[in-house]
């Protein structure tokens, strides 16, 4: 018993010492003076070389802290005690933060290079006129397939997923809006519909998909697809690019009949303090050269059209991640639904999951 | 003096009960009467008991928890019996408990590696000429992994009640002419019933809401009440409905406890 107690105390002491040490280390790198910018970003979502370049050009030091979900970011900023100058919510979360008065409008007179952004990526329903947000990266929802079991180009439409030859072959990302969304599109309805008969029809159609569904999983879907556990998956383009970097047999396609389009956006939360640094950073990121460098590092699609032109030809011509204008026009962004409708989407989705 | 001394011992216990048992359960009951707009309502219960989805889900949860408990029991009892007869039984029981030192998620991921299409099990099958099987995302694999995780919790109370039995009972049984089988069924088994019952309680109750495993190993093809609770709290923010399901789970657990307890009393009276 005594030995156990000693071992326990020693372990606690080591942990405490290490954590204090770690805090000291971060403190010494974190500049608390006025020449700083506190960026609250997704993990590994900015090219590190850009941060050093920004500091060299402007003298502002960027402190980066990371989050792994919109909800986690929202809760942390809402709880207070933070001093983030910029953060990167997705489309629906911009709308939610705006509704909860957590954002500061952009001062357009201090921004340069806004004309670099393509008109397809601006003035979206989640932030009309881009009063609060600048798009950072964008992407789509689509189908990933493995060319070892499915011939290249053979799978290009949502309706094909219902084909009986794909029995037990499909993995779905566990997300009510996305799964209901592509079913609604296959029935020529909007992904934002609030019409109950349309939603019920989507549920009925989804139930017919269940023999083809192998599993409905979350982040693990990347690992499963890379390892070839299933030949088909429905997932977001960002996840698809990660899978494809691990397995060259995988391909991504955005069905031409339409899909969801998502955006991650730079916004200024109410906790911001260093406004000179914020606008310096936003203008720095608006520059085509820098946005292109960032896009090459992250591998997601950039909404900065001027930057797009600077990307290598192989990337520009990649219809998987930069679909043609014709497809772009068909893509829909999710709008923030009322709690009752969110509930209905989720209830119907749950009924589909229960269906065998 | 004596009274204040006793109060000193009681106070932390009552505080613990009030803060960490009574208050959370009370809050779950309280929240279960509110809808998504924070208005007082009984609708959550009406929805639950009139919806085929939730009722099937409840039936599923109970069925899977029952199967997991049954399989753990069938494996655990003979194992506990054998271990209790071994020379270095403390070492063996330590080996049984060892997996509980590893985090549940890590164990689940290890099973993904074993059961996946190109996993170890299929590679072994390949060596003996059996074609690769689809094992992940099936009912069987879910029950297998859940039982594997629960077995140490079933073995331990059974093992403890087995080692509590004095050797003289077994000798007496043999002296009175009982066969080995009769000794086992008429003497040892009844005397270990308390251990079996606490094993059942410890395994059945958490098995009602194994939502991580039902997603990772079951691929969400098995939907239990835990899945619905997770969804109501994380995605739809409908805490009322989530709490209502929580209340139903609490009631199911109380029923499970009562079923395993009253039998013991009846046996004593007989």
- CB nearest to A346's CB, from B215, B221, B236: B236
Residue A166 has pLDDT above 80, yes or no: yes
- Distance between A229 CA and the closest CA of chain B, angstroms: 6
Counting every residue written for chain A, the total comes to 356
| Beta-carbon separation of A214 and B137 below 8 A | yes
- Domain membership of residue B244 (yes or no) is yes
Distance from C-alpha of A182 to C-alpha of A234, rounded to nearest angstrom: 9
- Domain membership of residue B20 (yes or no) is no
CATH classification at residue B243: 1.10.3720.10
Helix, coil or strand: residue A287: coil
Helix, coil or strand: residue B24: helix
The CATH number of A139-261+322-354, from 2.60.40.3680, 3.30.70.100, 3.40.190.10, 3.30.450.20, is: 3.40.190.10
Closest Cα in chain B to A169:
B134
**Own/partner long-range contacts of A242-247 (Cβ < 8 Å, ≥24 apart):** A242/A299, A243/A144, A244/A144, A245/A299, A246/A222, A247/A146
> Given this model, what pLDDT does residue A30 score?
46
Cβ–Cβ under 8 Å, residues A328 and A120: yes
Distance from C-alpha of A133 to C-alpha of A265, rounded to nearest angstrom: 6
Distance from C-alpha of B159 to C-alpha of B84, rounded to nearest angstrom: 6
- Domain membership of residue B8 (yes or no) is no
Q: What's A34-138+263-316's CATH class?
A: alpha beta
Is A117 annotated in a binding site? The answer is: no
> Given this model, what pLDDT does residue A28 score?
47
Cβ–Cβ under 8 Å, residues A111 and A92: no
| Beta-carbon separation of A217 and B220 below 8 A | yes
For chain B, the domain total comes to 1
Domain ranges of chain A: 34-138+263-316, 139-261+322-354
Nearest in space to A134 (alpha carbons), one of A101, A108, A109: A108
How confident is residue A4, by pLDDT bands cut at 50, 70 and 90?
confident
> Given this model, what pLDDT does residue A338 score?
83
> Given this model, what pLDDT does residue A151 score?
93
> Given this model, what pLDDT does residue A5 score?
87
> Given this model, what pLDDT does residue B5 score?
79
**In the structure encoding, which two tokens stand for residue B267, read together?**
């046996």
Integer angstrom CA distances of residue B163 from A352, B153, B187: 49, 16, 14
Residue A183 has pLDDT above 80, yes or no: yes
- CB nearest to A227's CB, from B37, B116, B228: B116
To test the contact with chain B by mutation, choose from A203, A223, A350 the residue with the greatest count of B C-beta atoms within 10 A, namely: A350
String of DSSP letters for A83-100: --SEE--BHHHHHHHHHT
Tokens 């229960």 -> residue: A354
Closest Cα in chain B to A171:
B219
Distance from C-alpha of A210 to C-alpha of A223, rounded to nearest angstrom: 22
**In the structure encoding, which two tokens stand for residue B31, read together?**
């929240």
Integer angstrom CA distances of residue A329 from A214, A258, A325: 32, 8, 6
Cβ–Cβ under 8 Å, residues A170 and A146: no
Cβ–Cβ under 8 Å, residues B235 and B241: no
- Domain membership of residue B32 (yes or no) is no
> Given this model, what pLDDT does residue B270 score?
41
For B203-253, the pLDDT digits (tens) are: 998 898 888 898 889 898 888 898 888 888 877 778 899 999 999 999 988
Residue A118 has pLDDT above 80, yes or no: yes
**CB pairs below 8 Å between A and B: how many?**
68
Mean pLDDT of chain A: 91
**How many H helices and E strands in chain A?**
14, 10
Closest Cα in chain B to A212:
B221
DSSP conformation class of B101 = G
> Given this model, what pLDDT does residue A25 score?
66
Tokens 């629960």 -> residue: B150
Residue A1 has pLDDT above 50, yes or no: yes
Distance from C-alpha of A299 to C-alpha of A137, rounded to nearest angstrom: 10
| Beta-carbon separation of A217 and B216 below 8 A | yes
Among chain B, residues having any CB pair with chain A shorter than 8 Å are 36-37, 53, 56-57, 112, 116-118, 134, 136-137, 215-216, 219-221, 223, 227-228, 231, 234-238, 241
**In the predicted model, what is the mean pLDDT of residues B186-201?**
93
Distance from C-alpha of B207 to C-alpha of B62, rounded to nearest angstrom: 9
Chain A contact set for B58 (CB, 8 A): none
Residue B191 has pLDDT above 50, yes or no: yes
Distance from C-alpha of A71 to C-alpha of A91, rounded to nearest angstrom: 13
Tell me the sheet residues that pair with A62. Answer: A37
**In the predicted model, what is the mean pLDDT of residues B177-183?**
92
- Domain membership of residue B81 (yes or no) is yes
Closest Cα in chain A to B137:
A215
Distance from C-alpha of A94 to C-alpha of A124, rounded to nearest angstrom: 11
String of DSSP letters for A242-271: HHHHH-TTEEEE--TT--BEEEEEEEEETT
- Distance between B250 CA and the closest CA of chain A, angstroms: 22
> Given this model, what pLDDT does residue B48 score?
93
Q: Which of A183-197, B35-49, B112-126 has the highest mean pLDDT?
A: A183-197
> Given this model, what pLDDT does residue A337 score?
84
Q: Which domain holds residue B263?
A: 45-269
| Beta-carbon separation of A350 and B228 below 8 A | yes
**In the predicted model, what is the mean pLDDT of residues A1-10?**
85
How confident is residue A33, by pLDDT bands cut at 50, 70 and 90?
low
**In the structure encoding, which two tokens stand for residue B238, read together?**
């409908």
> Given this model, what pLDDT does residue A190 score?
95
Residue A208 has pLDDT above 80, yes or no: yes
Counting every residue written for chain B, the total comes to 270
Chain A contact set for B137 (CB, 8 A): 214-215
For B119-133, the pLDDT digits (tens) are: 899 999 999 988 888
């Amino acid at each position: 018993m005594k030995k156990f107690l000693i071992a326990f105390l020693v372990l606690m002491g080591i942990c405490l010492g290490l954590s204090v040490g770690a805090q000291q280390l971060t403190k010494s790198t974190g500049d608390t003076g006025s020449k700083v910018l506190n960026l609250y970003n997704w993990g590994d979502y900015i090219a590190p070389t850009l941060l050093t370049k920004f500091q060299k050009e402007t003298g502002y030091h960027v402190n980066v802290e990371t989050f792994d979900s919109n909800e986690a970011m929202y809760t942390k900023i809402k709880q207070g005690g933070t001093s983030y100058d910029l953060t990167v919510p997705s489309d629906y979360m911009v709308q939610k933060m705006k509704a909860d008065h957590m954002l500061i409008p952009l001062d357009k007179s201090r921004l340069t290079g806004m004309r670099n952004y393509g008109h397809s990526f601006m003035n979206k329903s989640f932030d009309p006129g881009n009063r609060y947000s600048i798009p950072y990266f964008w992407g789509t929802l689509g189908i990933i397939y493995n060319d070892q079991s499915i011939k290249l180009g053979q799978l290009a439409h949502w309706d094909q997923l219902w084909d009986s030859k794909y029995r037990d072959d499909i993995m779905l990302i566990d997300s009510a809006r996305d799964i209901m969304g592509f079913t609604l599109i296959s029935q020529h309805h909007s992904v934002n519909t609030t019409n109950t008969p349309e939603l019920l029809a989507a549920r009925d159609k989804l139930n017919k998909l269940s023999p083809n569904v192998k599993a409905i999983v979350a982040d693990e879907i990347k690992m499963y697809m890379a390892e070839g556990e299933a030949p088909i998956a429905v997932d977001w383009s960002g996840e698809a690019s990660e899978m494809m970097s691990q397995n060259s047999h995988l391909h991504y396609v955005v069905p031409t009949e339409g899909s969801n389009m998502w955006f991650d956006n730079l916004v200024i939360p109410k906790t911001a303090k260093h406004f000179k640094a914020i606008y310096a950073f936003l203008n720095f990121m608006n520059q085509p050269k820098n946005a292109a460098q960032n896009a090459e590092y992250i591998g997601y699609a950039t909404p900065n059209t001027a930057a797009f032109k600077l990307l290598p030809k192989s990337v520009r011509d990649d219809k998987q991640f930069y679909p043609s204008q014709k497809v772009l026009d068909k893509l829909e962004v999710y709008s923030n639904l009322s709690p009752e409708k969110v509930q209905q989407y989720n209830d119907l989705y749950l009924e589909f999951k229960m269906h065998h | 003096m004596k009274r204040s001394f006793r109060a000193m011992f009681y106070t932390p216990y009552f505080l613990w009960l009030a803060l960490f048992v009574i208050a959370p359960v009370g809050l779950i009951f309280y929240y279960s009467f509110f809808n998504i707009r924070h208005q007082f309502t009984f609708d959550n219960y009406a929805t639950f008991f009139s919806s085929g989805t939730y009722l099937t889900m409840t039936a599923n949860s109970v069925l899977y928890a029952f199967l997991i408990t049954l399989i753990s029991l069938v494996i655990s009892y003979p194992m506990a019996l054998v271990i209790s007869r071994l020379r270095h039984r403390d070492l063996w029981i330590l080996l049984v408990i060892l997996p509980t030192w590893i985090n549940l998620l890590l164990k689940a991921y290890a099973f993904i590696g074993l059961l996946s299409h190109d996993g170890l099990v299929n590679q072994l099958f390949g060596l003996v000429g059996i074609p690769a099987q689809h094992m992940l995302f099936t009912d069987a694999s879910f029950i297998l992994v859940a039982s594997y995780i629960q077995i140490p919790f079933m073995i331990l109370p059974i093992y403890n009640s087995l080692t509590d039995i004095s050797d003289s009972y077994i000798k007496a049984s043999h002296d009175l002419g009982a066969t080995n089988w009769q000794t086992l069924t008429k003497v040892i088994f009844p005397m270990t019933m308390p251990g079996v019952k606490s094993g059942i309680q410890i395994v059945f109750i958490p098995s009602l809401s194994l939502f991580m495993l039902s997603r990772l190993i079951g691929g969400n093809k098995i939907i239990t009440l835990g899945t619905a609770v997770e969804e109501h709290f994380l995605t739809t923010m409908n805490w009322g409905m989530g709490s209502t399901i929580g209340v139903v789970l609490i009631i199911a657990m109380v029923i499970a406890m009562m079923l395993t307890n009253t039998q013991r009393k009846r046996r004593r009276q007989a």
